[in-house]
Structure 1
Amino acid sequence: MKVRRTAGLLGACAAAAALALATPGTAQAAHGVLFIDGAPNHDPSGCFPLGDFAPSEVANFTDEVAWVWDGANCDGRVVHPILPGRTAIGHGRSLFIE
């Protein structure tokens, strides 16, 4: 009887572990609105292009820092951050927010 309970417990633990490993993680997004040149992006996440010919105006009304990059696809180097609750000119080619 003890062997049967142990086997059942091990089986339940193995099933729980398999389910935990099979479930994909959820992506986190910033909560709020990120405005890029007046266009709203609700609960933004990822890389956004900025103006090609003129710097973009960015208003960060989220709970995350927006990072301005000098590369077009959020590559290169970080030029400057735009903190939550701040409006700034994005002197870069792209912006990343998580």
Structure 2
Amino acid sequence: MLPDVDVRFDVPWILVVWNDPINLMNYVVHVFRSYFGYPREEAERLMLLVHHEGRATVASGPREEMERHAQAMHEYGLQATVARDDA
């Protein structure tokens, strides 16, 4: 019998953007719209999650893609991390 092994090779990963005291809310909306192509309403909804809850999941997918998105968010001056989507 094989031991219990987690074999979820392509588990989705998430990109989390964190609240910070530096960036203005309208700038965060601008980043979400220009980089991800979100419509204004979705960009504002995500920005409000970041603002009120301290974080928002703004994208999900393969790890490498989420890491590229995180790097892009850093280049825009936003704090972002990549995590496994264990939901």
What is the TM-score of this pair, normalised by structure 2? 0.29
Instruction: Say which structure is richer in helix.
Output: 2
Larger relative contact order, structure 1 or 2 (CA cutoff 8 Å, min sep 6)? 2
Instruction: Say which structure is richer in strand.
Output: 1
Decide which structure has the larger Cα Rg and report it. 1
